[in-house]
Amino acid sequence: MADSNITTYESSIQDGQPIECFKFVYGNTTYAYTSTRFDVSLTVTNGEFTSTEKYTANHIKRGNIKPSSQGDSSSVSVTVDKDNAVAALFKGSPPSDKVLVTIIRLHEQDHAAYDKVFTGEVIQAAFQDSECELTVKMENWLTRKLPNFMRQFFCCNIIYDASCRLNKSDYAKEIYVDGVNGLTLTAADLEGTADDYYAGGLLYYGNDVRMVSANAGKTLTLRYPFPTTPMGKVTVYPGCDQRFRTCALRFNNIDNFTGCPYVKPAQSEDTKAGKGVYWVDEAVVQRDTDGFVGTISV
């Protein structure tokens, strides 16, 4: 490894005693392991701040780093015990947030000199016998989220994103879970809420989040289960079906609506179409290419 911090030891057959450390970050939680037999402490400097990171000895190993080709991104496999805390994140439903990985290489002779050999995101977990193989991919610009605006009837925004501009905290509702049956939660706090008001919205339980599929009366249905059964208080946020009517009546956010009024929806029952206008209940709302919004007579 030319021009690295550990060149001297890496090039030496006699003195080289390689050690690798693996740092997994999931939300606000960090898991740090080393493949050597003893715990390893590293001094990390970040600008003016210096801290010590401790890596716990554990069964962990990696495969060779596969270089990128034809627009794909580099990847590496990391194998841990099936009961490892990181592997547990992938049992059942996938984790709510990204699991990021940093692989550090150093040598026993000098823990102050080390190299970061790989950083990426866990995109897949495969369990076999007593082990779990994690596939880690380096970010590639071709895999990043790109603008997806289209000339279509529905809004191109995702609710609460930078283009939608709704403040998610303004719509948060804390409810108490009275019971859980599979993907269905029951909460008396939901009584009086319009059906499907939370459909397409989010439900947070601790650090985990799941999308809401539907709600009716005192019940709320999730799209995927939580790693642990929700109990006590949870926070739920309403969803949006990306129709102009919902944007206007539920969120009063039509200034940020990005759909096109002259594109007919796939299902005719979604709105009255064909006159170049949006319909909201009894009113017809007109919007021109400069973003002007006003009500006109039928």
Q: Average model confidence (pLDDT) for the chain?
A: 83
Whether residue 9 is predicted with pLDDT greater than 60 in this model: the reply is: yes
Q: What pTM does this model have?
A: 0.62
Q: DSSP states of 211-234 as a string?
A: EEEEEETTEEEESS--SS---EEE
pLDDT tens digit sequence for 65-90: 877 655 556 889 999 999 999 999 99
pLDDT tens digit sequence for 123-135: 999 999 999 999 9
**Predicted pLDDT of residue 275:** 42
**Predicted pLDDT of residue 180:** 94
Whether residue 179 is predicted with pLDDT greater than 80 in this model: the reply is: yes
Phi-psi region of 192 (alpha: psi -120 to 50; beta: other; left: phi over 0): left
**Distance (Å, rounded) from C-alpha 103 to C-alpha 86?**
15
Whether residue 214 is predicted with pLDDT greater than 70 in this model: the reply is: yes
pLDDT band, very low/low/confident/very high, at 254 (cuts 50, 70, 90): confident
**Quick one: average pLDDT of 155-165?**
91
**Predicted pLDDT of residue 1:** 44
**Distance (Å, rounded) from C-alpha 267 to C-alpha 104?**
53
**Quick one: average pLDDT of 53-70?**
85
**Predicted pLDDT of residue 25:** 95
Q: Which residues contact 268 (CB under 8 A, 6 or more apart)?
A: none
Tokens found for residue 180: 């859980």
- Percent of the chain past pLDDT 70, that is, above it, reads 77
| Domain annotation for the chain: domains and CATH numbers | 7-143 (2.30.110), 247-296 (no CATH)
Residue bearing the bigger pLDDT, 235 or 208? 235
**Predicted pLDDT of residue 227:** 82
**Predicted pLDDT of residue 43:** 87
Rounded to the nearest angstrom, the gap between the alpha carbon of residue 117 and the centroid of all alpha carbons in its chain is: 24
pLDDT tens digit sequence for 260-288: 755 555 555 554 443 444 556 656 666 65
Using alpha carbons, list the distances in angstroms from residue 83 to 207, 229, 270: 20, 19, 48
Whether residue 248 is predicted with pLDDT greater than 60 in this model: the reply is: yes
